[in-house]
Every structure is written in structure tokens, then in C-alpha cells.
Amino acid sequence: MSDIVKFIDMDWKNGVLFIAALVVVAVFLIQKWDWVISRFGIVSKRRLAYEKLGKDVDELKDHTKKTDENIEKLMGTVNEMKECIYDLSNKVNDMQKKNDENEVARIGDRLTQAYNFYRKRGSWTNMEKWAFDNMVKQYKSSGGDSWIDEVAVPASRGWEIVDE
């Protein structure tokens, strides 16, 4: 109790000095608050928030790095797929070209047979003429050469149409 009495009996000069000392200590503690808290092992909410923010930033950097790696892998896969599609497209085009050539040869053969048959006979029916004309159209549209226009079509105009 004697300390309280001494404090109360203090003269105004010592009181002002005491208050000034308290203000200096308070300002110092406020300025060094994080240091003081960490010195005593106390973790503040602000410190936890900074640590969490730091962890979040690190996780975001890791996630970004993994995403970039995945994008690079995907781009490699896309490029491989593009090459495969290009190769397949070329193969399909080659197959289509060969198929067209085979189709022209098949239709040309059928036209040659029909031409020789009807030339020898010298006549045909309306249905046979219609079928021959359609084969000529197919042959031309498939890329057939012009022997049909030069030889077969002019000769077919002279054949007699007989309906049985």
C-alpha cells in the first residue's frame, strides 16, 4: 500500500515525467507490436492473415506452374493430333482419288461393253438408251476422258430405237 501512497503523493514534475515515459513506451510498443508479439511467441490475427496470404500466394504460384505444364502437354498432344489428322486426311484423299479412278475405269468398261453390244446390234430400247446416257453422265462427272464424246455418243445417235 505504501507504493500507491507514494504514487499519489508524487509531485507534478514526477507525474509528468511518468506520463511521458508511459507515452514513449506505448508509442514504442505500438510501433514494434509485431516484434514484441513474435518475441513472446504470440500469434496475432494479422500475422495469421499474412501467413495465410503467403501460403495462398505460394499455392497459386504452384497451381499456375502446374497449369502451364498441363497446357504445354496439351499443346503437344494437340500438335500430335493435328499431324495425325493431316496424315489421315492425306490417306483419305489418296483413297478417294484411287476410288474415283477405279470408278472411272469400271464405268468406262461398262460403257465400252454397252457401246460394242449396241453398235453390233444397231438398235436399242428407250430404257437401254436412258441407262447408256446416265452412264455417260456418271463417267464424265467422275473425271472420265473424252472418247465417249468423240466416239460413243455420236455413234449412238444413229442407232434405231425399238420398243419391244
Query: What's residue 74's pLDDT?
Result: 95
Query: What's residue 36's pLDDT?
Result: 64
Residues 86 and 145 in one domain: yes
Contact indicator for 108, 144 with CB cutoff of 8 Å? yes
Residues 76 and 40 in one domain: yes
* Residue, of 147 and 125, whose pLDDT is higher: 125
Residues 11 and 78 in one domain: no
Read off the C-alpha cell for 41.
511467441
Task: Give SS3 for 148.
Answer: helix
Q: Mean pLDDT across the chain, nearest whole number?
A: 86
Q: Has residue 1 got a pLDDT over 60? A: no
Read off the C-alpha cell for 155.
455413234
Residues 113 and 129 in one domain: yes
Residues 98 and 40 in one domain: yes
pLDDT tier for residue 9 given thresholds of 50, 70 and 90: low
pTM of the model: 0.50
d(CA 37, CA 30): 11
Query: What's residue 4's pLDDT?
Result: 65
Cell numbers 430400247: residue: 125
Residues 123 and 84 in one domain: yes
Residues 74 and 107 in one domain: yes
Residues 85 and 123 in one domain: yes
Residues 156 and 75 in one domain: yes
> What is the domain count for the chain?
2
Residues 107 and 155 in one domain: yes
Mean pLDDT of 6-22: 75
Residues 8 and 89 in one domain: no
Residue numbers of the domain that contains 44 = 32-161
- Longest Cα–Cα distance in the chain: 149
Task: Give SS3 for 15.
Answer: helix
pLDDT tier for residue 3 given thresholds of 50, 70 and 90: low
Residues 13 and 50 in one domain: no
